[in-house]
Amino acid sequence: MSPPPPPNPIFKAHLRIARPTPSITALLPFYTTGLGFTILSSFTAHAGFDGVMLGHASLPYHLEFTTQEGHDAGQAPTKDNLLVFYLEDKEEWEKAVERMEKTGFAAVGSANPWWDGGGKGRTFEDGDGWRVVLWNGGWGRAHHKRYPPPSLAPSHRLHPTRNTPTYTPQTPHSNPTNMLEIAVFNHASALTAASSGADRLELCADYAAGGVTPSIRTLMAIRRAVPDIPIHVMIRPRGGNFVYSAAEFERMRSDIALFSTVASGFVFGVLDANGRVNVARNAGLVDIARPLPCTFHRAIDETPDLEEAVGMVVGCGFRSVLTSGGGRVAVDGVETVRKAQGKFGERISFVVGGGVRSGNVGALKRGTGVEWVHSAAITGEGENVDGEEVRRIQDVLKSLESDGKKQEDGSRDEEMGDAS
């Protein structure tokens, strides 16, 4: 009796499904916010191509989308080019369909009536005309035992690849009541701030514009250099006001999906034409970012009623708000921040920013009662962080901590004396 033939090596292969697209940025929301895939890695200017890889690290396949300068990828050739995802659990299937619809992707009629049959299938079309079917059912139990159907719930954890550094967020500061966030605008400043005692970085680009979205390359380079410090990324497509067009907002959505593989949080803020917090848009961005925390930035200082705005920001799901209290600089808004902290402090964390330096940080902390302060720590021309200034700010915060402990010890001694 002859031995069975060896297994075909192709059966062990990991599968990449690759295709071009006219715009990666425009395409991403369908596959990330809609289907819930994670960006595993990305590349730019590789042999003339930019690309992104989507999937989940535990699965035996991933998707790749590429763009090539000067090449028009065009639309899908026909409506029956399909990716089909089989979800045997009806509740999971319903949640996946609902997620697509809630994120703005409506089901379409299938070119092949089979996929609409019996209410078990929903077909969705991406921006390039290619189609995805979510099917309630299995196609082979042996396969499902080996490779369970993918969960289409959102995942924002970093999945290690050769191009993506591993990172576990942690806070090195010993005292959670005196925390320092430093805004950085380049790689060198990030390293300076981290080595000088910053508890968290806010990564931006273009200091002169007030901070805009940085590049993913910069973020990844910083993460490789300083793996143990939280980095919150500014999501702002341009300088100027905070009222964004549909195209700009779509770019913000895509940027959050892209950066969520490496960032530990986000900083953004969208206003409506009346200068009030745009609840729908901000809540949508917060949802895309989950479970990463989001900070509403100083757009709040442009609103007509800061207290009302904070209430709206809380409702959107933000974890914190960066504010000067409505003043041009933080020292002008101390009383406003103190009142807002008293009213909303148990529901959202306040971060005081706007001209914060070592010479005023003590008064700002005592006057507002907030835990976090935010500074660019720039003392000269340009946009580079001054490491000595970071250390001076931390020295002030440590002295406040020491004073607080002395007062606490003194009160305890008085209580002991009364008891005796």
- Tell me whether residue 389 is in a domain: yes
Comparing 139 with 381, which gets the higher pLDDT? 381
Q: Find out whether 187 and 218 touch, Cβ atoms under 8 Å.
A: yes
Any idea which of 170-179, 327-336, 355-364 has the lowest mean pLDDT? 170-179
Confidence of residue 46 (pLDDT cuts 50, 70, 90): confident
Residue 66 sits in a domain whose CATH number is 3.10.180.10
Same domain, 185 and 123: no
- From 136, 158, 187, give the residue that closes a domain: 136
pLDDT at 356 over 80: yes
- Tell me whether residue 2 is in a domain: no
- From 113, 136, 159, give the residue that closes a domain: 136
Sorted by sequence, the CB contacts under 8 Å of residue 292 that are 6+ apart come out as 156, 260, 263, 264, 265, 266
Environment class of 134 (CB within 10 Å of its CB; exposed 0-12, middle 13-18, buried 19+): buried
Tokens coding 282: 């901000």
**What single letter denotes the amino acid at residue 163?**
N
First to last CA, the chain: 96
> What is the layout of strands, in order, in the sheet containing 49-55?
15-20, 61-68, 49-55, 38-46
pLDDT at 165 over 50: no
- From 136, 171, 188, give the residue that closes a domain: 136
Rounded Cα gap, residues 323 and 337, in angstroms: 8
pLDDT at 94 over 80: yes
Environment class of 291 (CB within 10 Å of its CB; exposed 0-12, middle 13-18, buried 19+): exposed
| ∠ CA 350-351-356, rounded to 5° | 145
- Tell me whether residue 101 is in a domain: yes
Same domain, 129 and 255: no
pLDDT at 228 over 90: no
Among 3-12, 57-66, 205-214, top mean pLDDT goes to 205-214
Share of the chain above pLDDT 90, in %: 54
pLDDT of 334 reads 95
Residue 339 sits in a domain whose CATH number is 3.20.20.380
Same domain, 259 and 321: yes
CA 360, 363, 368, 371 torsion-angle sign = positive
Same domain, 211 and 315: yes
Confidence of residue 166 (pLDDT cuts 50, 70, 90): very low
Residue-wise pLDDT tens digits, 305-352: 999 999 989 888 899 999 999 988 999 999 999 999 998 988 899 999
Overall average pLDDT of the 371-392 stretch: 95
How many domains does the structure of the chain reveal? 2
Same domain, 345 and 266: yes
Same domain, 117 and 241: no
Which residues are 294's β-sheet partners?
Answer: 266
Residue 342 DSSP class: H
- Tell me whether residue 19 is in a domain: yes
Same domain, 196 and 297: yes
| ∠ CA 313-266-276, rounded to 5° | 30
Tokens coding 195: 């080595």
Q: CB atoms < 10 A from the CB of 7, how many?
A: 8
- Tell me whether residue 397 is in a domain: yes
SS3 content of the chain, % helix, strand, coil (to 5): 40, 20, 40
Any idea which of 163-177, 279-293, 307-321 has the lowest mean pLDDT? 163-177
Q: Find out whether 313 and 348 touch, Cβ atoms under 8 Å.
A: yes
pTM for the predicted model, two decimal places: 0.58
Confidence of residue 168 (pLDDT cuts 50, 70, 90): very low
Share of the chain above pLDDT 70, in %: 85
pLDDT at 169 over 50: no
Q: The domain containing residue 275 runs over which residues?
A: 179-401
pLDDT, averaged across the chain: 84
Rounded Cα gap, residues 32 and 320, in angstroms: 25
pLDDT at 126 over 50: yes
Comparing 156 with 178, which gets the higher pLDDT? 178
Under DSSP, is residue 420 helix (H, G, I), strand (E, B) or coil? coil
Q: Find out whether 417 and 225 touch, Cβ atoms under 8 Å.
A: no
- Tell me whether residue 218 is in a domain: yes
Same domain, 295 and 352: yes
Same domain, 124 and 192: no
Same domain, 297 and 201: yes
- Tell me whether residue 409 is in a domain: no
pLDDT of 329 reads 92
- Tell me whether residue 42 is in a domain: yes
Same domain, 132 and 184: no
Identify each DSSP E strand in 152-301 by its residue range.
179-184, 200-203, 231-234, 265-268, 294-296
Q: Find out whether 319 and 295 touch, Cβ atoms under 8 Å.
A: yes
pLDDT at 268 over 90: yes
pLDDT at 23 over 70: yes
Overall average pLDDT of the 120-139 stretch: 92
Same domain, 129 and 185: no
Residue-wise pLDDT tens digits, 241-250: 999 999 999 9
